[in-house]
Amino acid sequence: MSDIFLSYASEDLPRVRGLIRALEQQGWSVWWDRIIPVGKTYDQVIEEALDAARCVVVVWSQASVASPWVRTEADEGRQRNILVPVMIDNDVRPPLAFRLLQTARLLDWSDTASHPEFARLVQAITALLGPPPQPAASAPVPVAPIRPPPPPPSVNDDSSRLVNSLGMTFVRIPASEFRMGSANGYSDEQTVHTVRISQPFYLNVHAVTQDQ
């Protein structure tokens, strides 16, 4: 079941598509596609869609005022007090039975811009249907639990040694300095220089294996 049955002349479909999009963007469902399923007749499909709709929007234009189908659909909406008329052409006189109804004049309206007459249309439809349904809140996306960080290395009573979570033992190398090189060594060792370790660090007491 659609909220709105849209009555229009088939010649006007290119201009009516913007109205269809705008009404659907408001949150209402709109019946407008007049493709007839196999095994059904045109009048049967129209009648079922009209009976199911809670609002009929008729689009008056130069073409639709001359259409017997549009007149019939509009009259059904008028008799049920659910008709909301719209005009998209200048110098159009709706059929006599519909001239007393207030009509939204969308003569210069674009579906990409706001317009006071479109606001009137939305207000009239809301009076019949109530506020358009709000989109359902999307379900929260499950978030994988954050894995806690590995425990800090355990420090033995002897602060110069520690063992990490893999069981690897480290020894603390204090800040210090020492002389490196040999005056009597190979050519690449003969430059004797001072090496300074400004910050203490820990050094593994065993060779690191691939498993570790």
pLDDT digits (tens, 9 = 90+) for 73-130: 999 999 999 999 999 999 899 999 999 999 999 998 987 768 999 999 999 999 999 9
Closest by CA to 66, choosing from 93, 38, 28, is 93
- Are 34 and 89 within one domain? yes
pLDDT for 114 equals 82
Tokens of 39: 């095994």
- Residue 211 inside a domain? The answer is no
- Are 180 and 108 within one domain? no
Reported as a pLDDT band with limits 50, 70 and 90, residue 209 is low
Is the full-model pTM beyond 0.85? Answer: no
Reported as a pLDDT band with limits 50, 70 and 90, residue 11 is very high
pLDDT for 27 equals 93
pLDDT for 161 equals 78
- Residue 192 inside a domain? The answer is yes
- Are 119 and 171 within one domain? no
pLDDT at 33 over 70: yes
- Are 75 and 24 within one domain? yes
Of the listed ranges 19-23, 90-94, 140-144, the least confidently predicted one is: 140-144
Cβ neighbours around 190 below 10 Å, total: 11
- Are 11 and 88 within one domain? yes
pLDDT for 157 equals 47
- Residue 81 inside a domain? The answer is yes
Of the listed ranges 46-60, 81-95, 152-166, the least confidently predicted one is: 152-166
Reported as a pLDDT band with limits 50, 70 and 90, residue 212 is low
- Are 125 and 188 within one domain? no
CA quadruple 157, 159, 163, 164: dihedral sign: positive
- Are 28 and 117 within one domain? yes
Question: CA-to-CA distance for 170 and 203, rounded, in angstroms?
Answer: 5
Give SS3 for 188.
Answer: helix
Count of domains for the chain: 2
Q: Provide the residue range defining the domain that includes 60.
A: 4-129
pLDDT for 111 equals 77
Whole-number mean pLDDT of the chain?
84
How far lies 57's CA from each of 13, 19, 33, 73, in Å? 14, 10, 14, 9
- Are 112 and 194 within one domain? no
- Are 77 and 19 within one domain? yes
